[in-house]
Structure 1
Amino acid sequence: MHKPTIQDVARLAGVGVGTVSRVLNNHAAVRDSTRQTVLSAIHQLDYVPNPHARRIAGGKSYTISILLPVVTTEFYVRLLDGLEAAFQEARYDVAIFPLLDRARLERYLGSHTLAYQADGLVMATYNLTQMFTDNRLRDQQPVVLVDAYAEGVDCARMDNHLGGVLAGEFVAQQAGHLYAIWVETELDQVFTSRVFEERSAGFHKSLTAAGRCTTAELTSSFDPHAARTVAARFLDGAEFPATVFASADLLAGAVLDEAQARGLKVGTQLKVLGFDDQPWAAARGLSTLHQPVEAMAYEAATLLLSRLSGHRGPPRVRTFEPKLVLRSSTGPSSTGEAK
């Protein structure tokens, strides 16, 4: 009989090798149920870890590094769910690296840092290619961008320009004053994103085509308290009837909260359109642009896994389209999927 290996434990437990390693090292970032499953497999196989083993046999870590701006918003929780679902099916674990400032970025992108010791790399939302020499990604391992686009690399992206167009077409049809609230396009002056620039471009394109313009536009960060403050400032200066396009559901939810606190009639006196279709949006009657976040993330993972399996073809781009979903926040008659 051969001596049990860490791969045997991972297969029996139905997890990635990285998860087994974290259990062996008593790492906190493991669910109790998963920990018990792994420990049970270890006991069943009578596996004894080799304290001197530095790398997985075959030179693979069976781990994927995920670099993303933050991990605290609903969008990124859903994005991680989609990525992890695909990677876990392929028995890969994930290591998450939030990029919060320039020092962390430079540390993570160093050639010998932990992020680059994984078998593959996922970069989310922010186009980090400008941070590399000659705008070229390192070729130490396969890379995929999700919720972003760059030439020369596999990408799974949302058509945010189309989403802005759909939002603008709908808002332009509404009577009264028109407003917009945008998400900041820079994080800590380091990372630039085209996501909200594309939504804004599409939105204004539709308004211009319809001969309309906004009365005012505001900007907010993703912080819930900041979003509520901006929502209050918007309503302080708003002229009614009004329609507002909030470029993320988090911002739209803050507007709904503030409007409710002021006793405003949402759907008539004030119409609110969001973007994302977060899980809570339907319950709150929020009209929004639905984007299949989990499906986009799953496709990004699939692209990366194909590279790890030997695919050597040219870069591929998978584009997902948002759909306008109308609910009571834009009026009692505007319900259902519009486009």
Structure 2
Amino acid sequence: MRKPTIQDVARRAGVGVGTVSRVLNNHAAVKGATRELVLQAIADLDYTPNPHARRIAGGKSYTISVLLPVVTTEFYVRLLDGLESAFQEARYDVAIFPLLDRSRLERYLGSHTLAYQADGLVMVTYNLTQLFNERRLRNQQPTVLVDAYAEGVDCAFMDNVTGGRLAGEYAARLPGELYAIWVETELDQLFTTRVFEERRAGFRAALQGSGRTLRAEFTASFDALAARNVATALLDEAQLPCTVFASADLLAGALLDEARGRGLTPGEDVRVIGFDDQPWAAARGLTTLHQPVEQMGHEAAQLLLSRLGGYRGPARARRFEPHLIVRDTA
């Protein structure tokens, strides 16, 4: 048997081919009753759209490019889940481009890279204000920032200053010396992130307002081995009992492992506060700042989809705020 076509669906539903196409593209300009007729015809015929024909007919790629630092951390896996769920619902494919080194960063600023052949672009985490101001970033197609903020661009971002402040206010009330571990994520001087800088600013401001000071600060790159090495160095130096703000749960988890390996009791000998509330945090009793990561990704996708759907208004900023979850480690 031949495969049903879009014309077959249109005939069965009693509508034009254009109406079927609008339903397939989730276009708003279709009445509810008509949409139901088309969807029922699609189900009855077991019709599957031809993605190649769809692209050719519409003059669009139906692909979204996502440029992000890495794809191997829990945070970015969760963020991609939020982005992809919204894009897939709107029948867009997602192409992922991890920015791993300077040569790749520079290549993505070029004029003919694959990333810019998509209908829309999502830039994740990096502070791109300077690039937009200098017009170095090609953004002829709709662009949205997520986990980052820049004026004049649609963005969905976390208020990391507030998250750091909440951590600092809570840590300041706990006894013992205070320590902090920050993440070094700057790949080069071209693309930077303000995420951990903002967490640090909020945390230090809260301590200052409470009359407390940090005894020492440590920095780790964003991988498990570096995090464990820094945890070792911190506990070698620390005066116990103490409180440590680890600015990402990955760092907090490494500190918990090292503390337990030394026979220390988290929550008593060393109090640990993380940031992210990763899926494993509750099971480990980690006190941490919860981030609605998937929701932030989903909202960023909706901002981009509205541009693709015809919105031409001013840039919009969607702000998300972390909140503290107190568990056994602090």
| Correspondence for 2:205 | 205
- After superposition, the C-alpha distances for 1:54-108 in whole angstroms (9 at most, x for unaligned) are 9532211110000000000000000000000000110001000001122212222
Counterpart CA distance in 1 for 2:267 and 2:92 is 46
Structure 1 CA distance for aligned equivalents of residues 306 and 47 of structure 2: 31
1:317 aligned partner, one-letter code: A
Query: Match for 1:270: what amino acid?
Result: V
Say yes or no: does 1:250 pair with 2:250.
yes
**What does residue 267 of structure 2 align with?**
267
Indicate how the Cα distance of structure 1 residues 2 and 249 shifts in structure 2: closer, same or farther if over 3 A, else same. Answer: closer
- Give the corresponding residue for 1:57: 57
Per-residue deviation, residues 211-240 of structure 1 (Å, max 9, x unmatched): 100110000011101100000011000001
**Alignment partner, residue 152 of structure 1:** 152
Q: Give the aligned partner of residue 217 of structure 2.
A: 217
C-alpha contact 2:172 2:210 (8 A) present in aligned 1: yes
Query: Who is 2:325 aligned against?
Result: 325
CA distance in structure 1 between the aligned counterparts of 2:51 and 2:296, rounded to whole angstroms: 37
1:287 and 2:283 aligned: no
Q: Which amino acid aligns with 2:106?
A: E
Q: Distance in 2 between matches of 1:172 and 1:114?
A: 49
Residue 170 of structure 2: aligned partner: 170
Quick check: 230-239 or 107-116, which moved more?
107-116
Deviation (angstroms), 1:178: 0.3
Question: What pairs with 1:1-339 in structure 2 (closer than 5 Å)?
Answer: 4=5, 56-131=56-131, 134-135=134-135, 137-330=137-330
Structure 2's unaligned 5+ residue stretches are 10-19, 26-42
1:322: how far off? 0.3
Instruction: Please identify the structure whose Cα radius of gyration is greater.
Output: 2
Name the amino acid aligned to 2:153: V
The 1:196–1:46 alpha-carbon spacing in structure 2 relative to 1, beyond 3 Å, is closer
Structure 1 residues 266, 86: CA separation in 2 closer, same or farther (over 3 Å shift)? same
Determine the structure 1 residue equivalent to 2:39. Answer: none
CA contact (8 A) 2:55 2:62 kept: no
Instruction: Look up the SS of the partner of 1:141 in the other structure.
Output: coil
Q: Render the CA deviation track for 1:123-170: whole Å, top value 9, x for unaligned.
A: 000123434561564342000000000011001000000001000000
Partner SS state of residue 256, structure 1: helix
**CA, structure 1 residues 133+320, in 2 after alignment: closer, same or farther (shift >3 Å)?**
closer
Check 1:177–1:125 CA distance in 2 against 1; reply closer, same or farther (3 A cut).
same
The AA in structure 1 aligned to 2:94 is V
Identity rate, percent: 71
Give 1:46 deviation, angstroms: 9.7
Deviates more, 1:293-302 or 1:138-147: 138-147
Amino acid at match of 1:111: S
Question: How far apart in 1 are the matches of 2:136 and 2:255?
Answer: 41
Q: Which moved more, 1:128-137 or 1:94-103?
A: 128-137
Root-mean-square deviation (CA, aligned residues, Å) is 2.7
Q: Distance in 2 between matches of 1:267 and 1:159?
A: 27
Offset of residue 174 of structure 1: 0.8
**Unmatched segments (≥5 aa) in structure 1:** 17-40, 331-339
Aligned length: 298
Q: CA deviation at 1:113?
A: 1.4
Asked if the contact 2:185–2:222 (Cα under 8 Å) also holds between the matched residues in 1, the reply is no
1:112 to 1:225, Cα distance in 2 relative to 1, 3 A: same
TM-score (structure 2 length as normaliser): 0.84
Separation in structure 2 between the aligned mates of residue 80 and residue 157 of structure 1, nearest angstrom: 14
CA distance in 2, matches of 1:55, 1:83: 21
Contact kept in structure 2, 1:109 and 1:115, CA below 8 Å: no
Could you say what secondary structure the match of 1:254 adopts?
helix
Q: Is the 8 A contact 1:264 1:270 kept in 2?
A: yes
TM-score, structure 1 normalization: 0.82
8 Å contact kept, 1:62–1:93: yes
Residue 23 of structure 1 is matched in structure 2 by none
Specify whether residues 282 and 49 from structure 1 end up closer, same or farther in structure 2 by C-alpha distance, changes over 3 A only.
closer
Q: Give the 3 Å change call, closer, same or farther, for CA 129–105 of structure 1 in structure 2.
A: farther
* Structure 1 residue 180: Cα displacement: 0.2
Contact 1:66 1:121 in 2 (8 A): yes
Distance of aligned partners of 1:54 and 1:83 in 2 relative to their CA distance in 1, 3 Å threshold: closer
Q: Which amino acid is the alignment partner of residue 172 of structure 1?
A: A
Change (3 A) 1:209 1:113: same
